[in-house]
Amino acid sequence: MTDELTPETLDEDEQPIKQRKNGLYPGVSDELAASMKTGWADTELRDLEPIEQAPNTARRREALSRRFPGERLVIPAGNLKTRSNDTEYDFRAATEYVHLTGDQTEDSVLVLEPRENGEGHDATLYRLPRSNRENGEFWLDGMGELWVGRRNSLAEAAALLGVDCADVRELAGALREATGPVRVVRGHDAGIEAALADKVTAERDEELRVYLSEARLIKDEFEIGELQKAVDSTVRGFEDVVKVLDKAEATSERYIEGTFFLRARVEGNDVGYGSICAAGPHATTLHWVRNNGQVRSGDLLLLDAGVETNTLYTADVTRTLPINGTYTDLQRKIYDAVYEAQEAGIAAVKPGAAFRDFHDAAQRVLAEKLVEWGLVEGPVDRVLELGLQRRWTLHGTGHMLGLDVHDCAVARTETYVNGTLEAGMVLTVEPGLYFQADDLTVPEEYRGIGVRIEDDILVTEDGNRNLSAALPRRSDEVEAWMARLTRQRA
Ligand code: GLY
Ligand code: MN
Ligand code: MN
């Protein structure tokens, strides 16, 4: 009585696009198969309003069209990645795709097709449609909506995003057949790249990626609003952490990571990068994300963390806090030096300034302090010329911020690192001093101390605005803020 309905028994053209990897297809009776086809309500959503950023993404697509006339442009969202066996990492859509669509749906691909009259492009968003219930895809396919949840129909997605939509399962074949110049953003969708393999070149594709990176240098009002939301949630996340430092002392740095993550996940999409919850000497390891160390009274906690909003804009904020609420004299001396460097850096952020200016301003202050403390021989100009301060300052003083924490990373040197600041850019200013635990060139009491202060700064028409100003920075203000929050502990 039981006919096996397995992937093998489906007709070739009815093959589900992705089988469930666990391969468990229990026997399905004809009656059950028939039952699963029918009896489902029409849930199509009608009269949907476009998402708020739809006009902005349309403007970006128009600019992209103007930059590459007559060429087919393919911008994939990316696919799920296997974590282990049949589990996948949380999906995070490719930044280029999100910026041009406002969408975040896996396996989708934006294509700009040059019009035959030679004027501009037609944009089409290829994506998975609602699951077919007739052929069993709805419940037998690994991407069936019964397993993964309801998707927007193509018509719904078109209304929400303001772009015509089509079935992505037809795209690879169509791209293989197509003629004419084409470029693809690489690194996100191996299937689409394979379909285009004999039509694209690495150099031309890189030009597209560079253009899209530079297109994000200046943020519009919507993006600035999202970045402010990301920062505001991040400020609340830092407050959450201060309130539970006693619990972190009783467990590990993981308590801090988990506490911040709770805020990120409840108010936003995720953290924008792995939180650096670095207590004691871990603060001197720039990318400390193991977060499995002890949290000890008397040490510093360097917390570098950022909430990513539901639209995928991220904050990137660091505070270096005394775990017991009060800096020691040496911790304060080092902290105040970094604060002074950050103040000098922030003051150098204004339209028309060179991007490098804020870095140079902060480095000069840090070099002056290192000379003053006798850690490196002056004069300061010699130290800066030879870069000797870098043994302890380690990294650049900041970077663009947006959909990516290190946004616009493939912009050309002349438009970014050697470029000029303009209103609408958002960047971090994050000087630091790091004395490694095994650094024999500094007095013993310095060893194992790391301090960074990082804020997110918007370049305005007449200077800058610190988006993260709500989080105290000056050492005495940090202490007062911590005292207030820890008094609120239950
Ligand atoms: N959190 C990474 C950075 O500060 O650049
Ligand atoms: Mn950071
Ligand atoms: Mn940063």
What CATH number corresponds to the domain at position 203?
A: 3.40.350.10
Which pLDDT score is estimated for 219? 98
Q: What is the pTM assigned to this prediction?
A: 0.94
Quick: pLDDT tens for 114-172: 999 989 999 999 999 999 999 999 999 888 999 999 999 999 999 999 999 999 999 99
Average of per-residue pLDDT values in the chain: 94
Q: Which atom of ligand 1 has the smallest separation from the CA of 430? A: 4
Nearest ligand 1 atom to alpha carbon 406: 5
Q: Tell how far the Cα of 230 is from the centroid of ligand 1, in angstroms.
A: 15
Residues spanned by the domain of 163: 54-124+159-214
Question: Which protein residue's CA is at the shortest distance from atom 3 of ligand 1?
Answer: 316
Please tell me the predicted confidence (pLDDT) of residue 11.
Answer: 45
**Domain co-membership, 194 together with 249:** no
Asked whether residue 200 falls in the same domain as residue 246, the answer is: no
pLDDT, residue 490, reads: 61
Are 204 and 262 in the same domain?
no
User: What is the per-residue pLDDT across 458-489, written as a single tens digit (0 to 9) for each?
Assistant: 999 999 999 999 999 999 999 999 999 999 87
Q: Specify whether the CB–CB gap between 275 and 309 falls below 8 A.
A: no
Question: What ligand is nearest to the CA atom of residue 427?
Answer: 3
pLDDT at 25: 56
Give the full edge-to-edge strand order of the sheet including 182-184. 164-167, 121-127, 109-114, 72-76, 182-184
Which secondary-structure segment (H or E) carries 121? Answer: strand 121-127
Q: Looking at the CA of residue 316, tell me the nearest atom of ligand 1.
A: 1
Work out how many domains the chain is built from and give that number.
2
CA distances to 275, 291, 304, 434, 436 from 288, rounded to whole Å, are 8, 7, 10, 13, 13
- pLDDT at residue 8 in the model: 44
The H-or-E segment that residue 113 falls in is strand 109-114
How many A from CA of 269 to the centre of ligand 3?
19
Domain end position, chosen among 198, 214, 230: 214
Residue ranges with CB less than 5 Å from ion ligand 2: 304, 316, 454
Q: Are residues 262 and 181 in the same domain?
A: no
Separation between Cα atoms, residue 76 and residue 188, nearest integer Å = 6
Residues with pLDDT less than 50, the chain: 1-23
Q: Which residues line ligand 1 (CB under 6 A)?
A: 273, 304, 316, 399, 405, 430, 454
pLDDT of residue 17: 40
Residues 120 and 252 grouped into a single domain: no
* Atom 4 of ligand 1, residue of closest alpha carbon: 316
Is 46 domain-assigned? no
Last residue of a domain, one of 196, 214, 232: 214
How much distance in Å is there from the Cα of 190 to the middle of ligand 1? 29
Which strand (E) or helix (H) includes residue 76? strand 72-76
Question: Do residues 179 and 247 both lie within one domain?
Answer: no
Note the pLDDT of residue 19.
46
Whose atoms come closest to the Cα of 289: which ligand? 1
pLDDT value of residue 26: 63
